[in-house]
Amino acid sequence: MSVHDGEQYLREAIDSILGQTFKDFEFIIVNDGSTDHTAEIIGSYVDPRIRFMSNKANLGLPASLNLGLDVAAGEYIARMDADDVSLPERLAKQVGYMDAHPEVAASGTWAKDIDAKGRELGTRCLPFDERMKSEFWRPSPIVHPSAIIRKSHLGSLRYDIRLPHAQDYDLWLGLKARHELANLPEFLLLYRVHPASTTSRHRGSQVRSTHEIVSRRLGLNVSFKGFQHLLGLLPDLNPLSRVIARRRLARAIHIPYRTYLSEDLAYARNWLRSRFTLRSMRQPARDG
C-alpha cells in the first residue's frame, strides 16, 4: 500500500488489513512523501507484520508501488489503497483461489463503491471465468486495490512510472501476454469514491492512456475515437464502423469475431430502428 497525504481514511484501511481472517502476511506500507499526519498514524501501530517504508519526497504511485514489489517476500502480492476497505475474508478467499488456479498470474474481486462517509453508491462487477477471455482488454479488467499477484509470474515486470493514472492497466496487459487474469465474483472490497480520488480527478487522461497502452500491448489498430466507441463512451457509431473496430479487436486478443456477432447484429437493428424513428418524426404531416 502506498499513501500520500492520506490521513483521512488511512486508519480504516490499515485496520481492515490487520483484521483479516488470513494472518500470515507482511504489510508493506510506503509513505510517499506525505506532509500530513500519515507517518504518525502508521507509526502508532505496533504489529510485527507492518513493514514501514518512507520516501523523502513524493515519487508518485507507480514508483512507490514498485518499491513494494521489489522488497515483497511473499508468494503472492496483494494490493491495497489507503482510502479503501478490505472485508475480513478478502485475503483468505483470494489466496485460496490462487492456490487452486496456478495458471492465473493476477486476480481481483468485485467491489462496492462507497462515498467519503462509507455509504454505498454502487457496485463493480468485473468479468470472470469465460467472459474474462473476451473482456480483459477493457480498462481495467481488475479492480486495482483488490488485486493479488503471483510473484513468480511477475518476474521483472513493474508499474510504468510514465503512466501515473493507468499503471495498473499496463501491468495487467503485460501479465496477460504470458499468463491468465481472473476475478473472484465476490464483493470483498469497499472502493472509496470521492473528489480527491485518482478515478474522479483523472478520468479523461486515464482513457487516453489506456488507448495508448492497448495499442502498444495488444497491437489494436483503432483511433482514439474508435476506442471510445468500443468502450461505449461514444455509443452512436455506424454499425459498419463498429464491425470493423470489433473485428480488429477480436484479432488483437486472439478470439473469433463470432464472439461479438450477436451483439453487433442487435446493435445494428437498434441503430437502424432509431434512425427510422427519427426520420419519421422529422417528416411533415401530409394533409388529408
> Residue 25: which of 83, 86, 92, 87 has the closest Cα?
92
In this structure, what C-alpha cell is assigned to residue 163?
503512466
Domains and CATH numbers, the chain: 2-215 (3.90.550.10), 220-282 (no CATH)
- Tally of CA atoms within 13 A in the half-sphere of 43 that contains its CB: 6
Residue type, 251: R
pLDDT digits (tens, 9 = 90+) for 184-228: 999 999 999 987 665 556 677 889 999 999 999 999 999 998 899
- Using alpha carbons only, what angle is made at residue 234 by residues 230 and 238, rounded to the nearest 5 degrees? 75
Given a cut of 80, whether residue 282 has pLDDT beyond it is: no
| 21-58 burial code (b ≥16 CB/10 A, e <16) | eeeebebbbbbbbbeeebbebbeeeeeeebeeeebeee
Residue 188 near residue 90 (C-beta atoms within 8 A): yes
pTM of the model: 0.90
Given a cut of 90, whether residue 182 has pLDDT beyond it is: yes
Q: Which helix or strand (DSSP H or E) is residue 261 part of?
A: helix 258-282
pLDDT the model gives residue 98 = 98
**Whole-angstrom distance, CA of residue 138 vs CA of residue 117:** 29
pLDDT digits (tens, 9 = 90+) for 8-23: 999 999 999 999 999 9
